[in-house]
Chain A
Amino acid sequence: GENVEQHPSTLSVQEGDSAVIKCTYSDSASNYFPWYKQELGKRPQLIIDIRSNVGEKKDQRIAVTLNKTAKHFSLHITETQPEDSAVYFCAASTGDTGRRALTFGSGTRLQVQP
């Protein structure tokens, strides 16, 4: 089955700096890659996703890049703010109609220091 590895496990940045979180996946059939943000005690919330037919997607301060050849994708957060502090999860899915379940990475705890 799919295996998703995520690095780093913790990341501390100064407010205003950029943060980058990287994930690799094993199943070349995976074609959907969402990123979720989870605040303490809350549910995971989708912040951005990318499908395999594009290499990059941006939404204000957040961007995701995908390299299908190398089987890795990354989350980029620019101009970080204290409210960006949370745990971020990457995930991958093959998107076949029989399942469409997500395989998650182990998470990155991002701390933005004011």
Chain B
Amino acid sequence: NAGVTQTPKFRVLKTGQSMTLLCAQDMNHEYMYWYRQDPGMGLRLIHYSVGEGTTAKGEVPDGYNVSRLKKQNFLLGLESAAPSQTSVYFCASSYGRLAGGPDTQYFGPGTRLTVL
């Protein structure tokens, strides 16, 4: 049981290049999230998904796209990278019970992205 995994761990891009970050979970969780973490700002929600085939915008969605074609995978895409997207990206997932309120979010190990 690997939990939440992310690939790649590190990446350096030039301005204007594109890339996709992959998040995978093997806990059969319904909910998945992408956050970015910048110094002194905590974690901010980029996009999220409440189930296979569904996605929605978070607090800071501009410049990113996502897809959830399979329940276990959540992809984050940068179509034209900018230096402002230099950050550490964390994926998280949760079971998403329909009743009983929110449940624990489990985080992946993160992807450190640098855009030059």
Contacts and interface: CB of A to CB of B under 8 A. Distances in A.
Interface of A: 1, 4, 6, 9, 31-32, 34, 36, 42-46, 49, 51, 89, 93-95, 97-107
7 closest A-B pairs by CB: A104-B42, A95-B102, A32-B102, A43-B107, A95-B101, A104-B43, A106-B42
B50 A99 contact: yes
A42 B109 contact: yes
Interface stretch (B61-69, B72-80, B90-98): B90-98
Contacts, number: 64
B94 A100 contact: yes
Contacts of A45: 107
A101 B110 contact: no
B102 A93 contact: yes
B84 interface: no
Contacts of B42: 4, 6, 89, 104-107
B1 interface: no
Interface of B: 31, 33, 35, 40-45, 48, 50, 56, 58-59, 90, 94, 96, 98, 101-110
Nearest to A109: B40
A31 B33 CA distance: 19
A49 to B, nearest CB: 7
Contact of B43 (A44, A49, A98): A44
A51 B108 CA distance: 24
B104 A100 contact: no
B61 to A, nearest CB: 12
Given A106-B40, A106-B41, A34 B104 contact: yes
Contacts of A44: 43, 90, 107
Contacts of A97: 50, 96, 98
Given A34-B105, A105-B42, 20 more contacts: A1-B59, A31-B101, A31-B102, A43-B108, A46-B105, A89-B42, A89-B43, A94-B102, A95-B101, A97-B98, A99-B48, A100-B31, A100-B102, A101-B33, A101-B45, A101-B48, A102-B43, A103-B45, A104-B35, A104-B43
